[in-house]
Amino acid sequence: MTDSTDVMAALNEVSSNRSFGGYQKVFSHDSKELGCQMNFAIYLPPQAEDGEVPVVYWLSGLACTEQNFIMKSGVQRYASEHSIIVVAPDTSPRGCNIPGEDDSYDFGTGAGFYLDATQEPWKKNYRMFSYVSRELPEIVTSNFPASKERQSIMGHSMGGHGALICALKNPGKYRSVSTFAAICNPSVGNWGQKAFSGYLGPVESKSWADWDATELVKKYSGPPVEILLDQGKADPRLETDLFPENFVRACKESEIPVILHMRDGYDHSYYYIATFIEEHIKHHVKYLHA
């Protein structure tokens, strides 16, 4: 960690566990963007004790916290082997006392959708895009030996949507992006339409395209970023919420490099993620250690 004591004073270490020669830690802090206390998990590989290393941000899916990925994916083994820091934030603001925030698993608490809401009563706190793409990286690079230049992003389901839009809306910020079962075209899916209606207003407002990866990639003009999509063919949400083929089609029309792996027999779960997480880490390492 750095000697940035002023910033460090704002971080509270919630837990610390030795893992594959490094440390899996969880910190809490008061978020300026979200107006509440937030948790994030960070895996520090043993190489981080000797200096700056690359960082990968992981965005989790609906109803998850910072705990799901670090407990179920097995990422620590590969992060240690390949000398990368892995950061996994929570999925939404919590405890904001907004009416209806706890009414359903796919909207409100645990379902921030990694966008900046424009509608009342959500727009004050539900600013997960600004949190994960601006505030959190500043905290991480100020307090840990994480590179500002060598960073990538990945995610699952709602978090896959988040990873895609963070990369597309911040050209050049991430060297690579990958997803598991991403919500690729939320404007046409059940989960996405519910979230966008509540956070952004009716579709007639025309703001939905600003937060839909399939629409964003059609007008992307930044530096190349290789996108890896991973999708289980047995995923029950494939035809109602995810639509990876729509995104791939838009990428090809815009000449954006994209890889789609369709996995026979795999579903939407962490059993699936744990099976292929090593492959994803190696995808990012190609660019982070280049």
Q: Which residues are catalytic?
A: 157, 235, 268
* CA–CA separation, 31 and 265 (whole Å): 40
CB-count burial class (<10 Å; 0-12, 13-18, 19+) for 179: buried
Write out the E strands in the chain: 12-19, 22-31, 36-44, 53-59, 85-89, 146-156, 176-180, 226-232, 258-263
Structure tokens at 69: 């990925």
* CA–CA separation, 267 and 6 (whole Å): 44
Q: Of 151, 159, 263, 171, which is closest to residue 216 (Cα–Cα)?
A: 171
Structure tokens at 28: 């809490």
Q: Beta strand pairing status for 53-59 and 85-89?
A: parallel
* CA–CA separation, 189 and 134 (whole Å): 28
* Residue 63 per-residue DSSP state: T
**Beta carbons of 183 and 157 less than 8 angstroms apart:** yes
